[in-house]
Amino acid sequence: MTQNEIIEMAENAELVVSKHSVWTPEKKEFTYTGHTVEGDLANLMQFAELVSRAEREAIAKMVEPWLLPEYVEKIRNRGQA
């Protein structure tokens, strides 16, 4: 997963993602310093579910050529009640 995909998932979970930078006088430009994320526990849980779903799908696609369809579906559905 790329950083942009993770940020998009965080925003989809209604987390507030802020990008930070500082002015670097020597370079005469802003230098990226990182991201901060704000939200409550419900948003964090929603984000965790989005990430785990994306990871399960990536694994399912990777093993699909070698496993029977019912096992691939079990990977996709893992974690669902």
28-75 pLDDT tens trace: 888 888 989 999 999 999 999 999 999 999 999 999 999 999 999 999
Annotated domain spans of the chain: 3-77
Using alpha carbons, select from 40, 57, 54 the residue that is nearest to residue 9. 54
Question: How much is the pTM?
Answer: 0.71
Burial (0-12, 13-18, 19+ Cβ within 10 Å), 16: exposed
Please state the φ and ψ torsions of residue 23, each to the nearest 5 degrees: -75, 125
Average pLDDT over residues 6-32: 90
